[in-house]
């Protein structure tokens, strides 16, 4: 496709072509077209996360836009820019908080929260009275008190939008609470790094080793001759295989 036509295309057209073909030229054109949107989104978080590497946050924003480009569904309505901002914020916030030493509950914990609320709803229907989550936890001798503080959890991967994109439950942060950190450890299995490496692809092993050596996403991308969002996607695949990725510092 001619370069001029790519530059004149709308966000939605570029996303549609990218989803149909997987041709990275369309996503690169989408990045160029939305550089202003990326920087506008970044600016509001640079002061909030002074310890974070601005370049890393920019790579996170680009990765957020890549996820949005893959998941955007025109049939649901709304603009791509709106969806992209939500995903960029999510990625920037998750990485920014890690720089500040914030403890995150993994997505698996969100499933536990949903289970508790489902049990409470079922008990409410069966008993003809409101049965709170706290009572369900008491009945089951569930000691994970931190679960009580999380409500209305949803799966952000299945949605194009959030009523409050700055409050994503799957990435809810707890600071300065030793009890919460211990509770987190209760649901996190210890991972042996070499055993982990044995289950990774060659690209995943290479990216992970470079990341653990302290290289930024941009540095890894330059070393491998790949786009930064590709490196970010590989690291994200590794995170999926871990219960607690921040343990390894990437």
The domain limits of the chain are 1-101, 106-188, 189-250
Q: Count each helix (H run) and each strand (E run) in the chain, helices first.
A: 13, 2
What percentage of the chain has pLDDT greater than the value 70? 64
In the prediction, which pLDDT does 101 show?
53
Q: Is the pLDDT of residue 186 over 60?
A: no
Q: Is the pLDDT of residue 157 over 60?
A: no
Topology annotation, domain 189-250: Arc Repressor Mutant, subunit A (1.10.10)
Name the pLDDT band for 148 (thresholds 50, 70, 90). low
Q: Is the pLDDT of residue 192 over 60?
A: no
Q: Is the pLDDT of residue 193 over 70?
A: no
What percentage of the chain has pLDDT greater than the value 90? 10
In the prediction, which pLDDT does 1 show?
54
Identify the weakest region by mean pLDDT among 140-144, 171-175, 198-202.
171-175
Rounded CA separation 77/89 (Å): 20
CB 93 within 8 A of CB 45: yes
Name the pLDDT band for 179 (thresholds 50, 70, 90). very low
Identify the weakest region by mean pLDDT among 28-32, 98-102, 189-193, 224-228.
189-193
The pLDDT mean for the chain works out to: 71
Mean pLDDT of 224-231: 86
Taking only the tens place, the pLDDT of each residue in 55-97 is 888 888 998 899 889 888 887 777 888 888 888 888 887 777 6
Structure tokens belonging to residue 236:
């994200």
Run of H or E including 173: strand 173-174
Q: What angle do CA 216, 222, 226 make, to 5 degrees?
A: 105
């Amino acid at each position: 496709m001619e370069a001029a036509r790519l530059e004149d295309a709308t966000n939605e057209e570029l996303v549609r072509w990218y989803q149909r073909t997987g041709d990275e030229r369309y996503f690169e054109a989408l990045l160029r077209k939305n550089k202003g949107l990326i920087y506008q989104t970044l600016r509001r978080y640079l002061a909030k996360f002074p310890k974070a590497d601005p370049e890393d946050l920019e790579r996170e924003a680009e990765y957020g836009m890549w996820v949005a480009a893959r998941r955007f569904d025109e049939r649901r309505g709304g603009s791509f820019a709106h969806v992209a901002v939500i995903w960029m914020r999510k990625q920037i916030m998750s990485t920014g908080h890690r720089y500040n030493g914030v403890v995150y509950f993994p997505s698996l914990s969100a499933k536990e929260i949903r289970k508790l609320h489902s049990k409470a709803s079922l008990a409410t229907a069966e008993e003809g009275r409101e049965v709170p989550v706290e009572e369900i936890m008491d009945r089951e001798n569930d000691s994970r008190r931190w679960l009580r503080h999380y409500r209305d959890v949803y799966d952000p991967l299945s949605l194009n939008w959030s009523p409050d994109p700055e409050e994503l439950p799957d990435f809810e942060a707890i600071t300065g609470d030793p009890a919460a950190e211990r509770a987190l450890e209760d649901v996190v299995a210890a991972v042996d790094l070499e055993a982990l490496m044995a289950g990774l692809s060659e690209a995943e092993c290479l990216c992970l080793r470079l990341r653990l050596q302290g290289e930024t996403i941009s540095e890894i991308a330059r070393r491998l001759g790949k786009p930064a969002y590709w490196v970010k996607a590989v690291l994200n695949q590794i995170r999926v295989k871990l219960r607690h990725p921040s343990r390894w510092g990437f």
